[in-house]
Chain A
């Protein structure tokens, strides 16, 4: 079962290991990312960072069986590098009540909508489409932070223009 889906361009890092994993009490972390999966070094370094009681899978986006992850009884955190990967995962069976935007760094065409999230217009459109399908979209770097929901993110985006 999917406990949380998080967009974080650092994938597994301090905030995930120290804050989200204890908070979510998941038994499995799935990193769905072509770049991370292609490097044995990155795979080993990321897997090492997670305590051994938690299963870590690092796979190319197209090789993740999202439907199976959603159906079995194992509490799972899914990590995606960017907003652009989310529709693919969702269309391939990723059951998702909530999409957490963790770290989306500044890039060309992106505007700041929270301390750790910068979005481009196309990303905002993608997120709105997910929200229209019933997914709660919120920016929240760590569990202790108050989530900022999509309508507020849209408003901030418009103001930042």
Chain B
């Protein structure tokens, strides 16, 4: 199974995983990496490596980082030079839920990462506009 690491500033990663688990139940092979302000870079790297090692079962790891250009994302990108890791930035709840379910579909790691990026984007909608549209009587 592909491992998942959610890496984000503050406690977002931990909360995102706990929220996802409220919705679909326990997530297997998922680790979190909270990056608190003022943490030395060496510590961040060690934390990231530990998180990856914890969930790597041989099929590779997808890291879901919060912000493109932020520390969790940048440090994750350092890892993907040497390991079987793909990095996604801009993590949201739909992406995390999809990441969990896509793992049963035997995709290659880059393909899975691509599909997740699209899924995350597709699930950002102006819900109120969709609702107005749905309520229009069909002519």
Contacts and interface: CB of A to CB of B under 8 A. Distances in A.
Interface residues of B, number: 11
B131 A144 contact: no
B134 interface: yes
Interface of A: 14-15, 18-19, 22, 40-41, 44-45, 47-48, 141-145
A14 B134 contact: no
A40 B25 contact: no
**Chief secondary structure at chain A's binding surface:** helix
Contacts of B97: 18
Given A19-B25, A141-B25, A142-B23, 8 more contacts: A15-B23, A15-B24, A41-B135, A44-B131, A44-B135, A47-B134, A144-B25, A145-B25
A123 B58 CA distance: 49
B130 interface: yes
Contacts of B134: 44, 47-48
22 contacts: A14-B23, A15-B23, A15-B24, A18-B23, A18-B97, A19-B23, A19-B24, A19-B25, A22-B101, A40-B135, A41-B135, A44-B131, A44-B134, A47-B134, A48-B130, A48-B134, A141-B25, A142-B23, A144-B24, A144-B25, A144-B26, A145-B25
